Amino acid sequence: MAVAEAPVQAFTVTLIIRRFDPEVDEEPRWVDYDVQMYPTDRVLDALHQIKWEQDGSLSFRRSCAHGICGSDAMRINGRNRLACKTLIKDLDISQPIYVEAIKGLPLEKDLIVDMEPFFESYRAIQPFLIASDKPYKERIQSVAQRAIFDDTTKCILCAACTSSCPVFWTDGQYFGPAAIVNAHRFIFDSRDEGSQVRLDILNDKEGVWRCRTTFNCSEACPRGIEVTKAIAEVKQAVLRGNPGLPRLDLTVV
């Protein structure tokens, strides 16, 4: 006879959140909250419980809650993560969970930052297909051609990579990893005719050459994109001036 498993018990988790209200605060302040959570709950669930049951003034962004929209990127225990993909059981709950806004972008309120500088860099690299032909049907592309840039199509513009970059923290003019990743997606697209334009944009003092290969961006990406590798491939395309070549078997050291 099968023995019924004991029901999973909720436990108390302490979240310490870096709060900031520009109408009343001169500087951000840390505020702690105790919430009842289950192991499979997410940090986003804890934030919802705090906002809905304890303090309605807590402000943060979220939308799909399934790791697709990228709107709930924040620093959790010192690492950039999506709150909707970070399970309570994967954190050390014997210690408080520290939650704060991502770094390098202007803080607006609590966990919300001004994303406009981030999107300005994204728009600057012309993240759209540039093609003069007008095919009768779709533009044909082989599986091998698609594979060259497949990894960088996964970007959800959450800014986790860019706001984890120490160069971006200290130099607000740097394009940042996400913009370069999205440039990569079109630079290596066989259907695109604007690769050289993007390479010229990124061959700038605030472009790819500001990257110091710390791998923070790759570690922060919630989609598993090899961000540092993509940046290195764009650097090589700038140097050789022929982005149409197949992807190299490149190891970044």
CATH number reported for the structural domain that contains residue 216 in this entry: 1.10.1060.10
Do 155 and 122 share a structural domain?
yes
Do 147 and 97 share a structural domain?
no
User: Residue 244's pLDDT is what?
Assistant: 52
Would you place residue 172 in the very low, low, confident or very high pLDDT band (cuts 50, 70, 90)? confident
Quick one: average pLDDT of 67-80?
A: 97
CA–chain centroid gap for 83, Å, is 12
User: Residue 1's pLDDT is what?
Assistant: 59
Question: Per the domain annotation, does 253 fall within a domain?
Answer: no
Question: Per the domain annotation, does 248 fall within a domain?
Answer: no
> What integer best gives the mean pLDDT of the chain?
92
Question: Per the domain annotation, does 218 fall within a domain?
Answer: yes
Question: Per the domain annotation, does 251 fall within a domain?
Answer: no
Would you place residue 150 in the very low, low, confident or very high pLDDT band (cuts 50, 70, 90)? very high
Do 157 and 218 share a structural domain?
yes
User: Residue 169's pLDDT is what?
Assistant: 94
Do 63 and 33 share a structural domain?
yes
Do 231 and 125 share a structural domain?
yes
Residue percentage of the chain with pLDDT more than 90: 83
Host domain of residue 86: 11-113
3-state secondary structure of 147: helix
Do 30 and 145 share a structural domain?
no
Question: Per the domain annotation, does 170 fall within a domain?
Answer: yes
Question: Per the domain annotation, does 245 fall within a domain?
Answer: no
Question: Per the domain annotation, does 252 fall within a domain?
Answer: no
Please say if the pLDDT value at position 252 is more than 50: no
Question: Per the domain annotation, does 52 fall within a domain?
Answer: yes
CATH number reported for the structural domain that contains residue 39 in this entry: 3.10.20.30
Q: Centre a 10 Å sphere on the Cβ of residue 124 and count the other Cβ atoms it contains.
A: 14
Do 120 and 236 share a structural domain?
yes
Would you place residue 9 in the very low, low, confident or very high pLDDT band (cuts 50, 70, 90)? confident
User: Residue 166's pLDDT is what?
Assistant: 95
Q: pLDDT tens digits, residue range 188-233?
A: 999 999 999 999 999 998 899 999 999 999 999 999 999 999 999 9
User: Residue 133's pLDDT is what?
Assistant: 87
Do 64 and 52 share a structural domain?
yes
Do 84 and 124 share a structural domain?
no
Q: What is the full DSSP assignment across 37-96?
A: E-TT-BHHHHHHHIIIII-TT-----SSSSSSS-TTEEEETTEEEEGGG-BGGGS-TTSP
Do 126 and 80 share a structural domain?
no
Please answer whether residues 191 and 218 qualify as being in contact, where contact means their C-beta atoms are separated by less than 8 angstroms: no
Quick one: average pLDDT of 113-119?
A: 97
Do 19 and 99 share a structural domain?
yes
How many domains are contained in the chain?
2
Amino acid identity at 67 = G
Q: pLDDT tens digits, residue range 19-48?
A: 999 999 999 999 999 999 999 999 999 999
More confident residue, 135 or 147: 147
Would you place residue 135 in the very low, low, confident or very high pLDDT band (cuts 50, 70, 90)? confident
Alpha helices in 95-250 (DSSP H): 116-124, 143-147, 166-170, 177-187, 195-202, 216-220, 227-240
Please say if the pLDDT value at position 70 is more than 60: yes
Do 80 and 158 share a structural domain?
no
Quick one: average pLDDT of 80-102?
A: 96
